[in-house]
Structure 1
């Protein structure tokens, strides 16, 4: 029996360093917190506030933007923390790739024709939170 959040046929990443290695080897990559690709394929994505149907799966980019001049691990910590509140016993983070079909209400990419690339161990989200706390000025607004 596999542990919750493990996807068959793809690597199960257990550290931010493992995730960084994957992101540096392949791009673009995204993270999604859900019940996994099989469950996502069986549902319709919808914006919860408006009720509008979305043309793809809501994801967060794992591939750093060209302007990012810090460690890849710092980008990953920030990206994982953005949607960590979605993690639950039924929802876990997993890495995917696909084609951008549009943008969601928070300007997040919406993917179609997705492929699962890896699953992310829940402990990596804890590691991301600790990294985020250590290296960022959370809540700083530039004033």
Structure 2
């Protein structure tokens, strides 16, 4: 078991999808990372390619910045989709990973074209209830959609 420093144990928790949406609306360069948490990740701030084992030049994360093509569509739906796309990770990794919000700088792209982020600043855990709210938001959409689960 990893012991986290007090400042990361006390990291705030984003409790609602609306709270996350407000954060996305107010700043750029936000990412969500699904992992054991910032204490483990920041001890050696790189990820590894799962196929080859190659060390990557940053932490693999999912961008939350809204793309211009999204236009004036619902920011809440955007946030929900960004979370929902990888919501399968706790299930396939025995429930040991959880999502957390970070601010950082994209240094490169990984093998799945995901951003590899450096200069990481942890901002908060994303509560399980936020994932549930994201799933509900996605269920209300017209198109059929599922998480990016390879299994």
The TM-score with structure 1 as length reference comes to 0.85
Q: Deviations over 1:26-70 (max 9, x none)?
A: 112110111111111234411101221111111111121111121
String of CA shifts for 1:82-136, please: whole Å, max 9, x gaps: 1111125321111101111100111110001100112110111111111112115
Q: Which residue does 1:49 correspond to in 2?
A: 51
5+ residue gaps, structure 2, are 1-7, 147-151
In structure 1, runs of 5+ residues without a counterpart are 1-6
SS of 1:116's equivalent in the other structure is: strand
What's 1:91 paired with?
A: 97
Q: What is aligned with 2:3?
A: none
| Aligned partner of 1:58 among 43, 60, 74 | 60
* Number of residues of Structure 1 aligned to a counterpart in Structure 2: 135
Q: Check whether the contact 2:29–2:105 (CA below 8 A) recurs between aligned residues.
A: no
Which contiguous aligned blocks of 4+ residues in structure 1 show a shift greater than 6 angstroms?
none
Instruction: State the Cα RMSD in Å.
Output: 2.0
